[in-house]
Chain A
Amino acid sequence: MSRFIVRRVLSIIPTLLVIVTLSFFLIRLAPGGPFSREKKLPPEIMANIMHKYHMDEPMLSQYFRYVGDVLQFDLGPSFRYKDHSVNDLIGTAFPVSIMLGTMALALAVLLGTSVGIVSALKQNKWQDYAAMSVAVLGISIPLFVIGPILMLVFALKLKWLPTSGWISSRAGWMTVILPAITLMMPYFAYIARMSRGSIIEVLRSDYVRTARAKGLKESVVIRKHVLKGAMLPVVSYLGPAFSGIITGSVVVEQIFVVPGIGRIFVQSALNRDYTVIMGEVIVYSIILIVANFVVDILYGLLDPRISYN
C-alpha cells in the first residue's frame, strides 16, 4: 500500500511536465498574444515590453526559464493584470472556488445518494417517479437557467437569501447557499440516477438473495449487504466530479458574482494572458490528479478484491 502511494505521488511529476510542455507551446501556437492591440504600439515601446517579459528570447529558452520558475513554485507575473503575480491571483481566487465546489459536491453526494436509495427501494412507485423526474430536470436544465430562476424566487421574490456576493460581504454565509445549490444540481441528479441503478442491480444479486435466505431483516440486508457494494460506482465518480465541479463553476460564479477562479480563467483565455492560463492549467491538473488518487485509495479500502501490492 505505501509503495503504491509513493509510486503514484512520484508519477505526478512526469505527468505535470507533459501537461506544462504541451500547454506552453499550444497556447503560443494560437494567433494573437498578450500585447496585441487594435492600435499598434510604437515599435520601441513594444520592444521594451517584449524584453521585460523575456518574450524576445527564443521559444525554447522561454520554455526552460518558465519551467525553472515553476519548479520554484513561481508562476510568474500576469501579462495583463499589472502588479499582480499569478501566484497572487490564483491564491486569492482558488480557495473561493474550492470552497464553493466542495460544498456543492458534498450536498450533491448527500442528497443524491439519499434520493437514489429511496428511489431504488420504492422502484416504480410514485416516490421513484417523482425523484427521477427531478433528476432528469437537474441533468437537462442548464445552470444559467437554474441559477437565475433560484435567484428570482429565493432572493428577489421571497427575499430569504442575498442575490449575490461572497462570504466577506455583509450577508456572510447566506451568500453561499444559492450558488452551491445551483452548482450542485447536475451532480446531484447524476449521482441520484447512478446510485438508484446500482442499488437495484445489487438488490437482484445472488449474495443479497443469500442474505435474505439467512433470515436477515430487510433493513439489515440493505444496510449491511446492499449499500457498500452499491456505493462503489458513486465513489469512483467522485474524482472526476470534484475537479469538474471546480472547473465547471464559471457560469455560477458569473451569475452570483462569486470572486472565484472561473472568471479569471475565462478572462485570461480571451486576453492570451499566457502565465495566468498556464498557472490555472497546472493547478487544475494537480487537483484532478490528486482527486483521482484519493478516490483510488478509497476504492481500495472499500473493495477488498482490489489490492495495491
Chain B
Amino acid sequence: MTDDVILQVKDLKAYFKLDEGLLKAVDGVSFDLRKGETLGIVGESGSGKSVTNLAIMRLIPSPPGRIAGGEVMFMGKDILTLDDEEVRKIRGNKISMIFQDPMTCLNPFMRISTQMIETIILHQGLDKVAAKVKAIEMLKLAGIPAPEKRIDQYPHQFSGGMRQRVMIAMALSCEPEILIADEPTTALDVTIQAQILELIKELSSRLGTAVILITHSLGVVAGMCDAICVMYAGRIVERGSADEIFSDPKHPYTQGLIKSVPRLDRTNTQRLYSIPGQPPNVINLPDCCPFFPRCERAMDVCKTKYPKIAELGPKRNVACWLYGEGK
C-alpha cells in the first residue's frame, strides 16, 4: 500500500437476503483510491455500484442487507470493524456522499441552514453563528447566488440543479478526504449536468478531495476521471486509467459499452450498437462468468468458472478468460 492511497477496498461483499434467494449485490470488489484522485465506477443499473459505496459508508439497509466480508481500509483502520460512534465520525466528515435525486435527498421540512449547520456543528465543533457563516461560504463556493438569503429557504424553493449544488456544498462543508457522488447528475437535465460535474471537479481539486464518481454514463467518466472501474453483476470486471479504458478496452463488456456510445463522427445510416441480452439477475448466480450469455467471444470455460483476474500492468487488470493464464 503506497502512501498516497487513502482508501483501500479489499474483496468487499454485500449480500441481501430476499424471499427469492440470496442477492449478491456486491461480490468481492477491490479497488483503491489515491489522494485527490477521481475514480469512476461505471456499470449498468443493478451492477452493484451504489451498494459498493453504501457499504463503504456502512449505510446498507439492514435487514435485508449485510456486509458479508472484506475490508475497507481508511486512515489505517478498517471501517467495517469500527464501532458505530467511530463510523459516525467518518460519515459526513471524512467521507461524505451526494446522491442521485436531489429532489428527495434534502429534508423538505427543514431550512437549508438547519440542515447544513447541523453537520458543521457536529463535526467541526463550531458554534451556530460560525457554522452559519461557514455554510454560507460553502453555498457561495457551490455557485448559489445570494446565499445569505437563500440559506434560510426550504428545499422546495430551489430547482433541481440548485438543490444538487446545496447537496455538494453540504457534503464538502467539512472538507472531507473523499466525496462519493452516486449518479449526481442522472436526475438533472443535460445543461445542468455539465455544470454540476464541473463544480464537483473544481471544488474537489481546490479542497484536495478524492472523488468516487458512480455513473452509468461513459461520457461522464471520460471527462472527469483519472481511473475507472467497470462493474458487472456485483464485481469489477476491468480497471485501468481513463486513457487505457477508452483507448484499449480489454473486457468484451467494456468494449461493448464503448461501442454503444453514440458518436458524432459516424453517419446516421448505421444503427447504434447495443450489447445483446439483458443484465443478469444476480440472485443465486452460479459461479461462472456472468457475462458469458451476452458475450460474443464466450468460450466453454466461461460457462463453468469465474475468470481469474489477469494483471495487465500496474493498476490495470481485467477479469476475463481471454487474458492472463486462462488464455
Interface-side segment among A32-40, A212-220, A276-284: A212-220
Pair B109/A206 contact, Cβ less than 8 Å = no
Whether B92 pairs with A214 at a CB distance below 8 angstroms is yes
* Binary interface encoding of chain B residues 89-132 relative to chain A, with 1 for a CB under 8 A from any of its CBs, else 0: 11111001101010011111111000000110011000000000
Decide: A225 and B107 in contact? CB cutoff 8 A: yes
CB distance from B109 to the nearest CB of A (A): 5
Using C-beta atoms within 8 Å of the partner chain, give the interface range for chain B: 20 to 34
Query: Given the complex of chains A and B, what is the CA–CA distance between A225 and B104 in angstroms?
Result: 13
Given the known inter-chain contacts A212-B59, A229-B109, please indicate yes or no for A217 contacting B88, CB distance below 8 A: yes
Contact of A304 with B109 at beta-carbon distance under 8 Å, contacts A207-B104, A216-B88 already known:
yes
Q: How far apart are the CA atoms of A220 and B89 in the complex, in Å?
A: 14
Q: Which residues of A contact B90 (CB under 8 A)?
A: 215
Contact A215 B88 (CB under 8 A): yes
- Find chain B residues with CB under 8 A from A207 CB: 104-108
How many Å lie between the Cα of A206 and that of B164 in the bound state?
A: 13
User: Are the CB atoms of B99 and A206 closer together than 8 Å?
Assistant: yes
**Cα distance A126–B54 when bound, in Å?**
29
- Residue A303, interface by CB 8 Å: yes
**Are the C-beta atoms of B122 and A303 separated by less than 8 Å?**
no
Chain B 59-98 interface 0/1 with A at a Cβ cutoff of 8 Å (1 = within) = 1010000000000000000000000000011111100110
Nearest chain B CB to A103 CB, angstrom units:
30
Is A205's beta carbon under 8 Å from chain B? yes
Contact of B109 among A213, A214, A228 (CB under 8 A): A228
Residues on the B chain within 8 Å of A211, using CB: 107
> Using Cβ atoms and an 8 Å threshold, which residues of chain B touch A205?
104
Q: Contacts of A8 on B, CB cut-off 8 Å?
A: none
Given contacts A206-B99, A224-B118, contact A213 B92 (CB under 8 A): yes
Q: A302 contacts the other chain (Cβ, under 8 Å)?
A: yes
Which of B110, B119, B154 touches A214 (beta carbons < 8 Å)?
B119
In the bound assembly, the distance between CA atoms of A217 and B101 in angstroms comes to 23
B57 at interface, CB cutoff 8 A: yes
Set of chain B residues within 8 Å of A213, measured between Cβ atoms: 57, 59, 91-92, 96-97
Residues in A whose Cβ lies below 8 Å from that of B156: 304-305
Nearest 6 pairs of A and B residues by beta carbon = A215-B91, A214-B92, A215-B92, A206-B104, A304-B154, A207-B107
Interface residues of A (CB under 8 A from B): 204-207, 209-217, 220, 224-225, 228-229, 302-305
